[in-house]
Amino acid sequence: MFTPKRILFEKNALNYPIGKQIYQEFITDKEINIIELKGGKIKGSIPGTTPKDFYQEGKNTLVVGVKAGLKFQSCKPSAHYQLPLLSGCIGHCQYCYLNTNLGDKPYMRINVNVEEILNQAGNYIKERLPEITIFEGSATSDPVPVEPYSHLLKTAIEHFSKSPNGRFRFVTKYTDVDTLLGIDHQGHTEIRFTLNTNKVIQDYERRTPSLEKRLEAAKQVITAGYPSGFLIAPVFLYENWKGDYKHLLLSLREQLPERFPYPITFEIISHRYTPRAKQVISEIYPDNRLPMQEEDRSYKFGQFGYGKYVYPKEALQELTSFFRDEIGVIFQDRDIQIKYII
């Protein structure tokens, strides 16, 4: 569970049940600075005179506010739309794309007008009838660390369990899933876990649970009957990467229950970065050892019109063959589906 150093309540946030609930949860904790903002000046309430210091303090800050605009962003290929319940993440994963998207907003943010957000999701579902509409709950966040006191995921899971044409999904590195295990989800919510090798976790994924802890939480979720999957990302090609990723797959195989009600999905994404990401990462993590040497990469334009550095074509082909072959062998007696390897 994420316990922040400071909680900033935006104007009107305390007029909503979740805002009041969070306020009561932490008001007696003398170690936490509770701030009720009069205006919208969030940055002025977070200390730090350099980008690095501000980022570090922002990662220890929780903002409780009201989502103003209710136009949902698209979320291809993961889902049809983002579900904007939260933004931000408590982790210090040096490679994360959120370092670019939210570099000047590194704090966790909870939107308390959940009923309005879910009602708007209903409008999008109606527009696409009779098709199924999928909403992604972690496009700009990892929502699990604040779940013990926000209960936003629980609320969304219960909401979509009653929706014939709405589906919900999210991905996490964290393990605070206990309050989700007893929900009658009707199979309408998919919970995925992001996994990586012990080396990658130790080198780049600071303030995140170990691989073993993630696998234990994943087993709980699968046993609770949720559609489940695993995002292996980002895949780094380093000395003995094949041995380490094979060990990851074998460890996952050992943790999977004997039976599960839905196919286990795999999404595999190789490491890539944009020039802007490299600049931001170098500012906030000046001691990083990420492999970001342009001479070792190929430059590729993505679907959103900007370029990024990816592994060369031959290396990506080797990566793809490795994961298809190893997953096919290790999970040959299990119901699994590889959604994509990129």
Strand 79-82 to 86-87 pairing: unpaired
Classified by CATH at the fold level, domain 1-172 comes out as: Rossmann fold (3.40.50)
Give the pLDDT of residue 102. 67
Compute the distance between CA of residue 223 and CA of residue 226 in angstroms, rounded to an integer: 8
Q: Structural domain boundaries of the chain?
A: 1-172, 183-271+311-342
Compute the distance between CA of residue 113 and CA of residue 103 in angstroms, rounded to an integer: 25
CATH code, 183-271+311-342: 3.80.30.30
Strand 61-65 to 6-9 pairing: parallel
Give the pLDDT of residue 258. 84
Q: What is the pLDDT of residues 174-211, one digit of tens each?
A: 999 999 999 999 999 999 999 999 999 999 999 999 99
Residue positions counted in the chain: 342
Residue 63 · residue 10 · CB < 8 Å: yes
Give the pLDDT of residue 302. 65
- Reading the chain (342 residues) residue by residue, the pLDDT tens digits are 999 999 999 999 999 999 999 999 999 999 999 999 987 689 889 999 888 899 999 999 999 999 999 999 999 888 999 999 999 999 999 999 777 766 688 999 999 999 999 999 999 999 999 999 999 999 999 999 999 999 999 999 999 999 999 999 999 999 999 999 999 999 999 999 999 999 999 999 999 999 999 999 999 999 999 999 999 999 999 999 999 999 999 999 999 988 888 999 999 999 999 998 899 999 999 999 999 999 999 998 866 567 899 999 999 999 999 999 999 999 999 999 999 999
What are the residues whose beta carbons fall under 8 Å from the beta carbon of 319, sequence distance 6 or more? Answer: 235, 237, 268, 270, 311, 341
Give the pLDDT of residue 39. 75
Q: Model-level pTM?
A: 0.93
Q: What is the pLDDT of residues 242-284, one digit of tens each?
A: 999 999 999 999 999 888 889 999 999 999 999 988 999 999 9
